[in-house]
Amino acid sequence: MLEGVAMLTHTETPWIRRLVAAPDSSVRVVCFPHAGGSASYFRPLAIELAPHAETLAVQYPGRQERRAEPPLESVAELADAAFEALRPAVEGPFVFFGHSLGALVAFEVALRLQQVSAPGPRRLFASAVSAPSVFRQPTAHFGDDDALVAELCRLGGTDPARLSAAQIRAMSLPAVRADYRAVEKYRPAPDARVTCPITALVGTHDPIVSLRDSAAWRAHTTAKGELRVFEGGHFYLDHTVRDVAATVLNAW
């Protein structure tokens, strides 16, 4: 999905946005966007989580107010930068929620926190993406602009009319292509596992993520792994945000 600019609260780093302040909450939810997505995608979820949880969202370069910055083209680069930004920004208990590409980035950030013995997430919510160990055939990022737009529309997260103008395509598609390249070239370490529980979430009619491939996230934690299925496609979250928020809040 591609979004316009939203009014978000800036933290001290361009990588982190505070979507809805909840100063009396006991936990923070840190959200990681999908390919082509931005921090503002999670604002509806943040509203549902408040006041019980405060929501922060990672803002990748190449979109919204960071549109002038070149996008990063690998999960490792995104995770390295997010890791450095989040360490001083997150205090107290927190969980990670990543959607599609964002779940892979969140997973890698959690691994990096483990490697330096820093406090990590209480739980990782991996939404709308196959487990890291599932092979990803690199195809979408090789296509021309028309093919990339067709793929975005197939997933249901983008209004085709928004991408009909050449100017909009020129501004939006470089980041989308870089994100797809990051997903399709991602190859985790064979023994990559986090120590926190993982909850995988998937839509019943997701055209690119099967229930089996989502459930395979269980192999990437030394703790408990579980699967939650919601009605909808790749962007099931758009229509089930209240139920997803309840799933997150009931997990601790």
Q: Give the containing element (helix H, strand E) for 173.
A: helix 166-184
The CA distance from 82 to 111, in Å, is 12
Q: Which residues fall within 8 angstroms of residue 219, CB to CB, at 6 or more apart?
A: 131, 133, 193, 225
d(CA 109, CA 104): 9
107 CA to centre of own chain:
10
From 40, 100, 172, 214, active-site residue? 100
Q: Is 197 helix (H, G, I), strand (E, B) or coil?
A: coil
- Let me know if 100 is a catalytic residue: yes
Q: Which amino acid is at 185?
A: K
The rounded distance, in Å, linking the Cα atoms of 148 and 142 is: 9
Residues identified as active-site: 100
